[in-house]
Amino acid sequence: MSRPFKVNIIVAALIPGYGIGLKGQLPWSLKNEMKYFRLLTTNTVSPTSKNVVIMGRNTWESIPPRFRPLPNRLNIVLTRNTNNFVKNNAAVDESVLVADSLKNGLDIIEKTGNIEEVFLIGGADLYNQCLASDIVDRIFLTEVKSLNSQIETDVSIKIDPSQWIRQESQVLEKYLQDHGVNGFQLNGNKEGELGYDFTLLERRK
């Protein structure tokens, strides 16, 4: 089904197994990568448009309360028990919507209007559900590599390389430039014991 916006996954994953989490949390703290995430999911080409972040309930609850909802974006939380979520999050404002399925979440977005792009931000179940379908157009993948110590993860995503094309750095650079996401080195980043590269995968036609 054609939609008036792109659906993207944005995720940082440990190479080569694509591990993304440990005990419900990120297994690392990468300050510059978090800034990249914030700007990429927030910035729009049109000043009158807004982006959407879609997440599962566990991902919502993993965000410290003082940082949620993620500002300047429409937040959609997916949960089977929408009534409980609304009751437990009565203080949240109109920038947070709740849906009982991804399809219903996307339907809400279509009716909202002035939406530029949609970013799926986790967790693993949502990522893998979408990767197993054809709903995702692009993956903004931060490839994390351990430089010295062993990094433990207990959940991973499944990316089938036959379905995705790794774009040249220039393609990602142009996207970032068009969206005002500036000041990032795409390859060879290091923070502590970790190295990481910013990459872009697009679905094969």
φ, ψ at 74 (rounded to 5°):
-80, 125
The pTM assigned to this predicted structure is 0.94
Q: Identify the pLDDT of residue 22.
A: 94
- 8 within 8 A of 137, measured Cβ to Cβ: yes
Distances in whole angstroms, Cα of residue 186 to Cα of each of 33, 50, 176: 11, 25, 10
Q: Tokens 């939609």 label which residue?
A: 3
Q: Which residues are CB-contacts of 189 (< 8 A; sequence separation ≥ 6)?
A: 32, 33, 195, 196, 197, 198
> Is residue 178 over pLDDT 90?
yes
Higher pLDDT, 89 or 127: 127
Q: With cut-offs at 50, 70 and 90, classify the pLDDT of residue 161.
A: very high
Name beta bridge partners: 67. none
Per DSSP bridges, beta strands 138-146 and 6-14 are parallel
Nearest CA-CA partner of 172 in 163, 160, 184? 184
Q: How confident is the model at residue 3 (pLDDT cuts 50, 70, 90)?
A: confident
Average pLDDT of 112-136?
95
CB 70 within 8 A of CB 76: no
Is pLDDT above 90 for 76?
yes
Distance, in Å, from the CA atom of 149 to the CA atom of 59, rounded to the nearest integer, reads: 26
- Of 3.40.50.970, 3.30.559.10, 3.40.1160.10, 3.40.430.10, which CATH number belongs to 6-203? 3.40.430.10
